């Protein structure tokens, strides 16, 4: 999970919200909203960090629409999630479809910075020392489903292989780590983050601080 810095909401959403009785279902078209959410998130899912686009994303209400109708078209409550195997059995779902109307404490768009509460294993598992957050990551969002762990591990192994090729003795230079960290922490020329980037940032930051 990567921290999301909320940007300016689309003018059409702001204008629509001024209408009496305005609600999420009545807001159309939703394409400008999707574009804004994708741009500020660097085209990765708000929870699992897989690559998303207008075609395969869902608009997530962090505070559930059914429980907080007053926030259903509040921009700071809206995130871009992947479709998380929607339509399959619940054990195979993750992110927005799995979360449903469940409330969670960890918020990728919160000022407290979700990144400070999360760590990872070398096998791609996402964890937290906070018991509540750990439960939310593992059970409510189902972020340790096998496919996601494997995808994170592939991204991890790819970066490690690049660095090992550059430094065959496996003693990476501090400058090389810093450069890779800067690359993974930044959006590319198309405004996109690398999928699962924060997992790699977490690991390389540890290597940098504990050479």
Number of C-alpha atoms within 13 angstroms, CB side, residue 143? 30
Residue 137: Cβ-neighbour burial (10 angstroms; 0-12, 13-18, 19+): buried
| pLDDT tens for each residue of 97-132 | 999 999 999 999 998 999 999 999 989 999 999 999
Asked if residue 16 lies in contact with residue 121, where contact means CB atoms within 8 angstroms, the answer is no
The predicted structure's pLDDT at residue 211: 60
Query: Quick one: the chain helix, strand, coil %, rounded to 5?
Result: 45, 10, 50
Q: What is the pTM of this model?
A: 0.94
Report residue 38 as tokens: 């994708």
- The residues pairing with 119 across neighbouring beta strands, listed in sequence order, are 127
Reported as a single tens digit per residue, the pLDDT across 45-73 is: 999 999 999 999 999 999 999 999 999 99
CA distances from 181 to 13, 16, 131, 154, 189 (A): 35, 40, 28, 17, 16
pLDDT at 27: 95
pLDDT tens digit sequence for 137-170: 999 999 999 999 999 999 999 999 988 888 887 7
pLDDT at position 8: 93
Would you state the torsion angle of the CA atoms of residues 166, 190, 148, 210, taken in this order, to the nearest 10 degrees? 40
């Amino acid at each position: 999970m990567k921290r999301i810095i909320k940007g300016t909401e689309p003018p059409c959403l702001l204008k629509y919200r001024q209408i009496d009785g305005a609600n999420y279902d009545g807001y159309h078209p939703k394409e400008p909203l999707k574009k804004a959410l994708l741009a500020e998130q660097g085209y990765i899912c708000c929870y699992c960090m897989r690559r998303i686009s207008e075609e395969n994303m869902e608009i997530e209400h962090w505070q559930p629409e059914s429980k907080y109708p007053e926030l259903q078209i509040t921009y700071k409550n809206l995130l871009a999630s992947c479709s998380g195997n929607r339509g399959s059995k619940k054990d195979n779902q993750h992110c927005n479809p799995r979360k449903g109307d469940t409330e969670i404490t960890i918020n990728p768009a919160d000022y407290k910075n979700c990144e400070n509460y999360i760590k990872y294993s070398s096998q791609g598992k996402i964890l937290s020392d906070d018991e509540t957050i750990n439960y939310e990551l593992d059970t409510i969002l189902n972020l340790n489903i096998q496919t996601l762990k494997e995808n994170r591990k592939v991204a991890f192994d790819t970066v490690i292989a690049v660095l090992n090729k550059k430094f065959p003795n496996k003693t990476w230079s501090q400058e090389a780590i810093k450069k890779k960290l800067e690359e993974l922490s930044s959006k590319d020329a198309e405004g996109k983050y690398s999928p699962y980037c924060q997992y790699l940032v977490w690991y390389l930051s540890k290597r940098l601080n504990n050479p």
